[in-house]
Amino acid sequence: LNRSPFPPTRYRSAMLFRSSSIARKNSSAVLRACSMSTLRKTCLYDLHVELGASTAEFGGWDMPIKYPLGIMKEHLHCRAEAGLFDVSHMVPVRVTGKDRARFMERITVADVQNMPEGLGSLSLITNDQGGVIDDCIVTNAGDHIYMVINAGHEDKDLPHIEKHMNEFDGEVALEKVGCGLLALQGPSAAKVLAKFAGDEVTKMGFMTGRKIDVAGVPCFVTRSGYTGEDGYELGIPIDETDAIARKLLAEPEVEIIGLGARDSLRLEAGLCLYGNDLDDTTTPSEGNLLWTIPKSRRADGGFVGAETILGQIADKKLVKRKRVGFVGSGPPPRGGDKLFTPEGEEVGVVTSGVYGPSLKKPVGMAYVRKKFMKAGTKLQAEVRGKKRDVEITKMPFVEPGYYRG
């Protein structure tokens, strides 16, 4: 597969176009993926309705929150077998041009120039103040770099990228990929996908990606996900996404899963949700995401916001708060609930909280003053006007099921 099966919307640097405006090319396939109403709809919207989904707004999209099975059973099924998620609201892009790796090292903290072909990593797009604009997956796909950014972030991420393209002294282009995205997650994911894509998918390493035919359809497949389980994300031509989804759902191990269970799964896995646990005022140090910055990038810097980010690495006293995990009892604390010491001193705020079906107790994330970040620290969350005991703990809350080979 030398050519991508997906229709692009193109963005190029000012070094290629003398104009500072972004050149766009809207494909009919992209338009078919979206509703003309206020809320956009993915190419699987009709399938969600057919399957009895309860939908709600998420990132500007009308997305399935749960199905008749219910959030708890969906969650537990994904942990035990395999769950299929529609993640077509996410934004895949393809970065091309001979200087693409150098450009990516300007806008993200990833070590792209030393990234082997076929390997990817979680990375961060940062702003001038060292805050996180977005978290994203960056994969070296050989003749291009494949990056997936968060739903509803086109109006935030793409202008930021355009600005730095216009200032960049090399050849680079960005194409917004028009495709459907499915995530197949859980211990049975590899066995199920192998029925349609061959045994090579079972041998893929964690965070690797490649072009693979799935049920005879050319797709871009990565072994990654957002649940803490083994699994894959599939970029599929829009017109083929419904058919492939139905084939996967016909397998006895697979259940359709909504965003409600996706949230509890990712939270048990200790994974951030942008807008809750991260925002553009939060630095990698504060978010406990320094592991996304390789040693080579700490040495040479060169990415947007490096002065602040590397300064906080060099002088830890500059960091006043930290993202932590906690467990509790009773009603789960929710985003915005305040955290207090037993003596009543306010020391932090909850950013995400759910009942964890796998642990049978509330779990969550919060930002607290550094003094209170140590595992085992006892605090209280104010939930619906009543203070509930919580305990700071290490994340993830469940043992990861990622495939390591």
Q: How confident is the model at residue 371 (pLDDT cuts 50, 70, 90)?
A: very high
| Total Cβ atoms within 10 A of residue 389 | 14
Question: Across residues 186-203, what is the average pLDDT?
Answer: 98
Question: Across residues 327-340, what is the average pLDDT?
Answer: 97
What is residue 405's predicted lDDT score, i.e. its pLDDT? Answer: 80
Question: Across residues 240-263, what is the average pLDDT?
Answer: 98
Contact (Cβ atoms closer than 8 angstroms) between residue 223 and residue 207: yes
Edge-to-edge strands, sheet with 231-236: 209-214, 217-222, 231-236, 180-185, 82-86, 254-256
What mean pLDDT value characterizes the chain? 92
Query: Which conformational region is residue 70 in: left (phi greater than 0), alpha (psi within -120 to 50 degrees), or beta?
Result: left
Q: Is it the case that residue 27 has pLDDT exceeding 80?
A: no
What is residue 72's predicted lDDT score, i.e. its pLDDT? Answer: 98
Q: Is it the case that residue 1 has pLDDT exceeding 80?
A: no
Q: What is the pLDDT of residues 131-151, one digit of tens each?
A: 999 999 999 999 999 999 999
Length of the chain measured in residues: 405
Question: Across residues 15-22, what is the average pLDDT?
Answer: 27
What is residue 357's predicted lDDT score, i.e. its pLDDT? Answer: 98
Q: How confident is the model at residue 152 (pLDDT cuts 50, 70, 90)?
A: confident
Q: How confident is the model at residue 17 (pLDDT cuts 50, 70, 90)?
A: very low
Q: Is it the case that residue 245 has pLDDT exceeding 80?
A: yes
Q: How confident is the model at residue 37 (pLDDT cuts 50, 70, 90)?
A: low
**Percent of the chain with pLDDT strictly greater than 70:** 91
The answer to whether the pTM exceeds 0.95 is no
Q: What is the pLDDT of residues 175-187, one digit of tens each?
A: 999 999 999 999 9
What is the SS3 string spanning the chain? Answer: CCCCCCCEEEEECCCCCCCCCCCCCCCHHHHHHCCCCCCECCCCHHHHHHCCCEEEEECCEEEEEECCCCHHHHHHHHHHCEEEEECCCCEEEEEECCCHHHHHHHHECCCCCCCCCCEEEEEEEECCCCCEEEEEEEEECCCCEEEEECCCCHHHHHHHHHHHHHHCCCCCEEEEECCEEEEEECCCHHHHHHHHHCHHHHHCCCCEEEEEEECCEEEEEECCCCCCCCEEEEEECHHHHHHHHHHHHCCCCEEECCHHHHHHHHHHCCCCCECCCECCCCCCCCCCCHHHCCHHHHHHCCCCCHHHHHHHHHCHHHCCEEEEEEEECCCCCCCCCEEECCCCCEEEEEEEEEEECCCCEEEEEEEEEHHHCCCCCEEEEEECCEEEEEEEECCCCCCCCCCCC
Q: What is the pLDDT of residues 306-333, one digit of tens each?
A: 999 999 999 999 999 999 999 999 999 9
Question: Which positions ≥6 away from 159 have C-beta within 8 Å?
Answer: none
Question: Across residues 149-173, what is the average pLDDT?
Answer: 95
What is residue 6's predicted lDDT score, i.e. its pLDDT? Answer: 52
Residue 405 or 366, more confident: 366
Q: Is it the case that residue 12 has pLDDT exceeding 60?
A: no
CA distance 255 to 261: 12
Question: Across residues 222-228, what is the average pLDDT?
Answer: 97
Q: What is the pLDDT of residues 73-132, one digit of tens each?
A: 999 999 999 999 999 999 999 999 999 999 999 999 999 999 999 999 999 999 999 999
CA distance 252 to 24: 42
One-letter amino acid of 131: G
Contact (Cβ atoms closer than 8 angstroms) between residue 254 and residue 94: no
Q: How confident is the model at residue 205 (pLDDT cuts 50, 70, 90)?
A: very high
